Structure 1
């Protein structure tokens, strides 16, 4: 069987980008190789749709769970859609079939750790900063002062970060795939806004959360939140998660 030619953003070892080939390999049972947008067969995890042009001469790719990074104008598309990240991406593509699966394939991250034993050590609060928020001075100062708080490195190997998330009681993240992975593993979590540096603002977060039928509001970093995140646990819900995961599995573009 030929390798699956997949495009993912490879300029930095970012968590969500690193998950894409791992999850696609696990779901497809095939070797996955990187290919640029003009030569790939599939695009999956990530805010990457704006990189795929709609000219008549451009390659038509198979889209599985991808989204836009910011709100695009509604437009027709030549690509083959099996799943998109959320309802905002769905609405931006004119004529997209309503039965297309919705959800980020990062929700299938448990496939990468399902054969591993449960972590032996628990972390009370794991904070996952977006790479634009790496080195946030206020976070570093609070994490050093508040017991039981760990700060993850978004550039760590993907399976290492998944194990850290599994070991956490609560996850707070300004990186979207930190939240998605926590959802996939059943770890209560909340969107933490550390700055305005993340490209696209709130769009991709709202797109992701739309599949659960609600709009999320980011939390601000504070010492009380790190000391007592019980409200995050009490309010945590992800209705329909199992159905979303099942539809994503069924919608993978086999035979490409």
Structure 2
């Protein structure tokens, strides 16, 4: 483990002192966010926090930018579900809000007491029985609204899912594509956003690698790896893309590096800018409904 990764792990993950340090960082960052003045409100939210992955870390980041202080809560106490394929994990009696969450396995579930602010895509909306007027889109699409795009400097950004980080194909592609870079998903969202936004094209096995590229209008391609399949298969990708009105399928199959690159050159694309903008507006409007959310309380001092 590199020194940088040791420091990152020491600050954000591990035993109780590290969890407390992570909590302090979230609270202090949220309180220092201009959107939280004149007073901040706390949201008891659930997100996956077992190891650092930029996609899972989007919920607290985006809540803070929207004017709320995210408090990590166990599912039984949570009143807010955000980014991720986490709806199957929610108890049937869940009575909080859902903002951009999705299903993992594509099977119908019942959360009759939930408030549906937004869901990731039309497939999830239909399977959970959310109202037809529920906003669609993954909150990761807001990346470009919170982090300014980096200076274009990379020809190809490779964003592996954490399960695919050690695949040899990434090195093979880098040797063939000058100026390409492998972007580690085990970083804070803002760092990953800047790195992805500096790329001309993105190849990814990570859903949020694809979503981030779409937010910045960067042509992207999702790579499937049959040898190491993701839980839930392609459902979360299908669900997300159901919100985009795409005309083409943006999928490549892992194989020889040159074959993969050929698929990227032929098929990498991005959704229409007006579609992304509309989804962003819908997500922001949806999260603003938390203003009178009954589980929130004012934060008076730290």
TM-score, normalising length: structure 2: 0.76
Alignment length (residue pairs): 247
Aligned to 2:231: 199
Change (3 A) 1:135 1:236: same
Structure 2 SS opposite 1:72: coil
Q: Which residue of 159, 162, 182 corresponds with 1:131?
A: 162
Q: Which residue of 219, 236, 249 corresponds with 2:270?
A: 236
- Cα offsets for 1:35-94 (capped at 9, x unmatched): 11111121111000001021xxx3411000100111113545221111111011011123
TM-score, normalising length: structure 1: 0.89
Please list, as runs of the form range in 1=range in 2, the aligned pairs for 1:95-106 lying within 5 A after superposition.
96-106=130-140
Structure of higher RCO (CA pairs closer than 8 Å, 6+ residues apart): 1
Q: Over aligned residue pairs, what C-alpha RMSD do you find?
A: 2.1
Q: Which residue of 195, 198, 201 corresponds with 1:167?
A: 198
Give distance in 2, aligned partners of 1:60 and 1:175.
30
Structure 2 SS opposite 1:16: coil
Structure 2 SS opposite 1:212: coil
Deviating more after overlay: 68-77 vs 163-172: 68-77
Aligned to 1:2: 41
Give distance in 2, aligned partners of 1:173 and 1:91.
27
Change (3 A) 1:71 1:121: closer
Structure 1 residue 232: deviation in Å?
Answer: 3.8
Structure 2 unpaired stretches of 5+: 1-39, 294-302
Q: Are 1:69 and 1:203, in contact at CA under 8 Å, matched by a contact in 2? A: yes
Aligned to 1:70: 105
Please list, as runs of the form range in 1=range in 2, the aligned pairs for 1:201-240 lying within 5 A after superposition.
201-214=233-246, 216-221=249-254, 222-223=257-258, 225-226=260-261, 229-232=264-267, 235-238=269-272, 240=275
Deviating more after overlay: 68-77 vs 125-134: 68-77
Q: Are 2:159 and 2:182, in contact at CA under 8 Å, matched by a contact in 1? A: yes
Q: Which residue of 41, 53, 56 corresponds with 2:91?
A: 53
Give distance in 2, aligned partners of 1:62 and 1:229.
38
Give distance in 2, aligned partners of 1:25 and 1:16.
15
Structure 2 SS opposite 1:135: coil
| Larger gyration radius, structure 1 or structure 2 | 2
Give distance in 2, aligned partners of 1:236 and 1:124.
16
Runs of 4+ displaced beyond 6 Å = none
Structure 1 residue 5: deviation in Å?
Answer: 1.4
